[in-house]
């Protein structure tokens, strides 16, 4: 059973301010909770149905598990759908990454669903680091975590002063624009930064000044733009074609 | 002002059954409504704010326009967000396409947001035709239309008996699977069918039997799968690299 205080904490962690104050975030959904086992993240508590706890007793034995009904869990969840499991996890200390393969940099990507999808596609292509301007969506927002489909534990996201980070990086910065060199003919260096802007504002001038290579996804029809997560996936596929 | 009967119709068209009965669908949002001008779709009525009607008077002069407040339009809309414009449009008669470049075929893609995103990516890559199994999302669902971001008028979607269509097609059928030939080394024919399954069930056996080439997007990390729209975009980019 979820106590009154536990319920209060679970609900509080739906808000960014509270996540920051407690240094904790929520991992919701069966698949995501099970993914925790393979990460170095510190799990404080797991709330889950009896069914789920029994089915995964061995994986979950290392955690402090609390049994709860599906109704309780749904009530505690920040998300609409039913939830057989929710974990409270410590927000890890992350450092801005130094050069290691391709790093994805996000400028003003404020939608948590987009950020989560980008974390998932980064994980697909084996990208370990995302850096993001401080006005990007919170990587620990429950909507972000949900959209990663379990990839949150394998990709590190660091919110930082993006222009400063780009200024100090001494590797190529590939910026995605509607006009630039086609990614079909771009010669990607193995180490670099792929800079993606938001759908509505693109890469902003403060970050654009550090772009060394403007690149674009060639268009063959009438659509004006692509979703930022989609564009990131397509560009990463073009990069991986050259560096696997 | 929107009359009581008009409001009733607008609301009814949020439901598939009612769209079918009336032969009509809704196009919501300023950008989508303006896209109608460049299509051959038959527009019955446009409901929009005074602001919108004045700003786009010349484009909209051919239509029966009805002024309404933002409150009225939001009330009439099937979607949550504010809406400065909504159009009632005739569902066109569409025929199953014969071979013309690459055709995208969808098997059991039931989420309207995914279908809309696939329509948008098809339009980006200049693909004119999508065929979809009859249990796919309705191409005229307001959520589908919204997710196309204006591309609904340039891509034709036909719901049909998919196994039968694939059986009768005499062009290569490229099926996307988690195991298959890497799209980085696939030699795509110019004319063909790209068959995509749903995220949860993949391509089902009834359709799989007609696949001539199993292809896959190479993975380099830990993510187990990709969203179907994302995968479609990445494969189309690989196709267009060979056939532009």
Q: Is residue A220 part of a domain?
A: yes
Return contacts of A237-242, CB within 8 angstroms, 24+ apart: A237/A125, A237/B217, A237/B234, A237/B237, A237/B238, A238/A183, A238/A184, A238/A186, A238/A188, A238/B237, A239/A102, A239/A125, A239/A188, A239/A194, A240/A125, A240/A126, A240/B184, A240/B218, A240/B220, A241/B184, A242/A187, A242/A188
DSSP H helices, A43-87, are 50-55, 57-60, 70-76
Q: Is residue A163 part of a domain?
A: yes
Of the residues B90, B115, B133, the one at which a domain ends:
B90
Whether pLDDT at B78 is above 80 = no
Distance CA B216, CA B149 (A): 28
Whether pLDDT at B141 is above 80 = yes
pLDDT for B167: 96
pLDDT for B83: 80
Task: Dump pLDDT digits (tens) for B42-59.
Answer: 999 999 999 999 999 999
A148 and A203 inside one domain:
yes
pLDDT for A80: 61
Q: Are the beta carbons of A223 and B127 separated by less than 8 Å?
A: no
Distance CA B158, CA B97 (A): 8
B48 and B146 inside one domain:
no
Of the residues A67, A90, A113, the one at which a domain ends:
A90
pLDDT for B80: 61
Chain B closest-CA separation from residue A124 CA (Å) = 5
Is residue A146 helix, strand or coil? helix
Strands A43-48 vs B85-90: parallel, antiparallel or unpaired? unpaired
Low-confidence residues in chain A, pLDDT < 50: none
Chain B closest-CA separation from residue A72 CA (Å) = 27
The arithmetic mean of pLDDT across residues B86-102, rounded, is 87
Instruction: Count Cα atoms within 13 angstroms, Cβ side, for A25.
Output: 21
B163 and B42 inside one domain:
no
Number of domains forming the structure of chain B: 2
Which of A29, A190, A221, A244 to probe by mutation at the B interface, max B CB count within 10 Å? A221
Grade residue B177 by pLDDT with cuts at 50, 70 and 90. Answer: very high
Do residues A38 and A153 make contact, with C-beta atoms less than 8 angstroms apart? yes
Do residues A49 and A60 make contact, with C-beta atoms less than 8 angstroms apart? no
Q: Are the beta carbons of B125 and A219 separated by less than 8 Å?
A: yes
Q: Are the beta carbons of A234 and B229 separated by less than 8 Å?
A: no
pLDDT for B152: 95
pLDDT for B82: 63
Q: Which helix (H) or strand (E) holds B8?
A: helix B4-12
Chain A residue nearest residue B125, CA to CA: A220
Q: Which helix (H) or strand (E) holds B20?
A: helix B16-22
pLDDT for B200: 85
Chain A residue nearest residue B223, CA to CA: A124
B123 and B193 inside one domain:
yes
B114 and B66 inside one domain:
no
pLDDT for A98: 74
Q: Are the beta carbons of A126 and B241 separated by less than 8 Å?
A: no
Whether pLDDT at B98 is above 80 = no
A83 and A113 inside one domain:
no
Domain that holds residue B53: 4-90
B69 and B122 inside one domain:
no
Domain CATH number, residue B234:
3.40.1280.10
A124 and A220 inside one domain:
yes
Q: Is residue B96 part of a domain?
A: no
Q: Is residue B31 part of a domain?
A: yes
pLDDT for B173: 98
A70 and A32 inside one domain:
yes
Q: Is residue A188 part of a domain?
A: yes
Domain CATH number, residue B12:
3.30.1330.30
Q: Which residues of A touch B156 (CB under 8 A)?
A: none
A76 and A157 inside one domain:
no
Of the residues A59, A90, A121, the one at which a domain ends:
A90
B47 and B138 inside one domain:
no
A131 and A194 inside one domain:
yes
Q: Is residue A95 part of a domain?
A: no
Q: Is residue A96 part of a domain?
A: no
Whether pLDDT at B99 is above 70 = no
Mean pLDDT of chain B: 94
Q: Is residue A97 part of a domain?
A: no
């Amino acid at each position: 059973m979820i106590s009154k205080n536990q319920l209060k904490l679970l609900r509080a962690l739906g808000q960014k301010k509270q996540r920051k104050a407690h240094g904790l975030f929520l991992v919701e959904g069966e698949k995501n909770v099970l993914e925790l086992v393979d990460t170095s993240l510190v799990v404080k508590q797991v709330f889950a149905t009896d069914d789920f706890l029994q089915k995964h007793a061995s994986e979950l034995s290392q955690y402090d598990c609390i049994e709860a009904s599906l109704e309780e869990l749904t009530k505690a969840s920040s998300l609409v759908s039913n939830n057989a499991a929710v974990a409270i996890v410590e927000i890890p200390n992350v450092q801005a990454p130094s050069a290691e393969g391709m790093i994805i940099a996000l400028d003003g990507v404020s939608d948590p669903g987009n950020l989560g999808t980008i974390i998932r596609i980064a994980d697909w292509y084996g990208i370990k680091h995302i850096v993001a301007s401080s006005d990007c969506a919170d990587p620990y927002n429950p909507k972000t975590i949900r959209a990663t489909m379990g990839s949150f534990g394998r990709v590190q996201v660091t919110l930082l002063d993006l222009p400063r980070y780009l200024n100090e990086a001494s590797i190529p910065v590939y910026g995605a624009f509607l006009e630039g060199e086609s990614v079909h003919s771009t010669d990607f260096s193995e180490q670099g930064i792929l800079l993606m802007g938001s759908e509505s504002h693109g890469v902003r001038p403060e970050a654009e000044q550090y772009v060394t290579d403007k690149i674009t996804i060639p268009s063959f029809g009438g659509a004006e733009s692509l979703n930022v997560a989609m564009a990131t996936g397509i560009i990463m596929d073009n990069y991986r074609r050259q560096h696997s």
